[in-house]
Structure 1
Amino acid sequence: MGVDLAAVTEKQRAVWGLGDYGRVGSLLTWIGESLVREVDVRAGERVLDVAAGNGSASLPAARRFADVLATDYVPALLEEARRRAEADCVELRTQVADAQDLPFGDGSFDVVLSTIGVMFAPDQQAAARELARVCRGGGRIGVAAWTPDSMVGGMLRAVSARVPPPPGVLPPVTWGDEEHVRGLLGPYVRDLRAARRTCAFRFRSAEHCVEHFRTWYGPTVAAFRAVGEEGADDLAAELAEVYRAHSTATDGTLAMDVPYLEVVAVRA
């Protein structure tokens, strides 16, 4: 029996509604800025941000006076993106949409982006196909995803050990493997280039980082709920070890430069 990907998607939608992803998404500002720069978003271009969260890529694209539409399947995250755009005095449209089944016509956008977003779609083939389908020929596609060896990769493995994904659903961080992404997007694009970059995470301590993700990050919130009080200490300790293993700080704080893969390609 195959995986019921629609059911998996609904469960994920509920998980991303836990906590407050905006408290984590705000740490990813650099990733969105870098992706928009590398894609070279221009004023007036039609830009779609897929699985936009609270607007890490949408906002820098809007600051370039592009016509930006931010989409996500969690309405609360889009409301945060809208409020951030209002605070920045930039124009941003939002629409609820699933990355695996985008409600737009073929070639509707000049640029299609996703920053630490589309990587979490359970049907990776469908998500890649949709990114390409809605981008016009000669348009650009830009995707940023955590790498398998990153701190986030370690954190998600600890979470998955407590809340296992259905058999057959690939880990999200496979989007951070260049060979895998070339396989996903290759049939639809040309001139694909990938670069390994880092995003700086700074916390007061490993314990502070555990508390932050435990409180605000949906997958971690779900994992702590799943293990209950009896398993909470073990999970917290394992996460703290993951964070310390990736830290370069020597002053007792936590300093992690978290690697991610930045992919830019031209729609064939």
Structure 2
Amino acid sequence: MIIFSQLWDTLLYVPILNLLVGFYHVLFQNLGLSIIAMTVAIKAVTFPLTKPSIEVAKKQKGLQPEIAKLKKKFKNKQVFAQKQMELFKKNGINPMAGCLPQIIQFLIIIALYSVFTNLLSGNGVMISSVNDKLYNWDYLKFAQDAVLNTKFLYLNLSKPDQFYILPVLSAAAQFFLSKYMMKSTVGMKTAVKDTPDKKDDIMYNMQGQMAYMMPIMTLVIGVSLPSGLILYWFISTVLMILQYVLIFRKSKKVEN
């Protein structure tokens, strides 16, 4: 347990804390801008990990004609599921790879929650002990009497959004992302409709469930979390949408 805690601090908590504090000092002590800048930096660093999920969607789109043929050929759902998984394996597709970006987001959210908990008290006063977790660089350190500026637009980033605007925007962005990901399976949707039992298409139904589950979770959880966390979630989701759009447009240009 101690080893896990040390790994958590070393790999996630401490780097995120230092990154956020570093941007805070550079960006005129504006915590909102710091969170946005930190989100962009995290997305850039984790892109090699999230790119495979986008590649899966691209490969999946190319396999739509073959999946449609399998759907018509194998009416038994167990047999079809087996053949579909064989097709995925043959083409190097892991259906669970699409979940990786969400897992990464959740891990970072947990780390950010710890950062906010330790960085802020109820009234936004800096907790002096946070300096012990900062790297030994003078410009990162806070004065003992420092007060963190948590105001950003209408928000107090240390508290939930009292108007629920940010959670709703985050849920909407999450829904748009899920639907955009499902656009690559439009051929699958047609194939699924060709059989009475629509539950036997693994990839299509997984994405269909995620399209509604993730936005609902985002909204339900988002109304109670500090708005700084939800700001991160919103910006991160928007950046993920941009990644999908740019990569798919690039692939279309190559195909043409």
> How does the TM-score come out when normalised to structure 1?
0.24
Greater relative contact order (CA < 8 Å, ≥ 6 in sequence)? 2
Which has a greater percent of helix? Answer: 2
The structure with the greater share of residues assigned to strand is: 1
TM-score scaled to structure 2, two decimals?
Answer: 0.25
